[in-house]
Chains A and B, each alone.
Chain A
């Protein structure tokens, strides 16, 4: 349903120009959850912002359901990392969730009903009348997710959605995304720098190289559903996959001799979770 063809983007001109995207090809099928990982500064956000129509890419095509994207598509929802800036502090939680539905031409009553339903789905039924700043970070991001669900977009984009919450909250929110996706049959493109997260959540992981970003590799994630924070992460297949993704992110080829399981683990360990990769551009 999403088709990105040879997408290139350069910021600025002349000697100061920075090429963020160096020709990206990417497909997302209906109902799929694709995670995009890459080193910091790899242009992941540039890719997402191009798809959302927030910036005009220098070159290339983006099609959603065979319609070329030239402006903001109006049929997708973005969940930003910075929930506290993305939610409107002068509106209650319910009003925040209901606002985009004006674009759907729904009347007040229908908007409120849809907002209530979405808030219920993220476990915030009791917070409708509160203001975002009265809630914890994790709850605020739940509101942002509810806002995206209520809109019923054909595609949900998530830009490092759990980058600003603590580890426990992060796991809860990851499971919430899987739940939402299952209940609402959503198509999701999620951007993260966290290798574990990409493997845990994705049906497929797309790895970007450092800038100018290209697709360094793609790995299908054939892990069973429902996924579980403990059980899934201890599956040998999970450990193997995250090592594979880790290698791709670091730009390492497979070692000539098969690595021992220990080395695999060590490699994966240090590129995952909080491990910050050397900044690339």
Chain B
């Protein structure tokens, strides 16, 4: 199967399937929700011709941003995963290996504890700054053994976060979104803050041929003329920025950054020129699909108050992602 998918025709077919799946998922997102809107009205709302203003608000200000943020954050997480895995040449690395998610969570908690008045906007900026600062610390402290350093950094930051929450548990509800990852209650502002970061995806893709050479090991890569220092700096910067943007928009969603590259490798192989875009598409589909599940679960839970805003998508990705990963790793070993 993989040999066939590596050929251009196979890749076009794969792209067509991905587009179709994406269209179905987007449609499902737009059509489902707590308030039931006739499908004709959803289409009308998209075209700006809904019969009721409330429909337009629900579709354009709630459902559309939610699915768009899910797609974009999923793609960014997956690409961050590919890049981090490429740097350490370990397919079990993922965006959280950099500690970036933990840094974002700590920054958000600290902001909410110290300055609760800053609200959502402040939390967004804090998570972004926290994530990027963690990346900078990682580079300064442990660029040579960065997987170990990143994991340790993440553990320390998470411990500090827990400590802060023990001292002041008021922000726990808000911060859960960053700790677990959630796409509930996304607004057009969230989308507006996230989409410019999608420019990182072509940048990551442009690194693909260098990543292919790097994947042969440092000695072979130097032999081919790569300079490890500058390459790793750029790749890590792009990876951290991708992860930071995704985490700021959707929180530290687990497993998408790990599973999407894995499935990608299973489908098209290890060639980063193909893997980067394929993993991006898979990450987008996986996160928005998981969000659909998260949303459906929350609607179907009986006996709960109507104001339940839904299961966080991060819980779904972790619950589904862990067994999927185990089966993928076992399949990889058999292949």
The finding on whether chains A and B are genuine partners in a shared complex, rather than unrelated, reads no
Chain B interface (Cβ within 8 Å of chain A)? none
Chain A interface (Cβ within 8 Å of chain B)? none
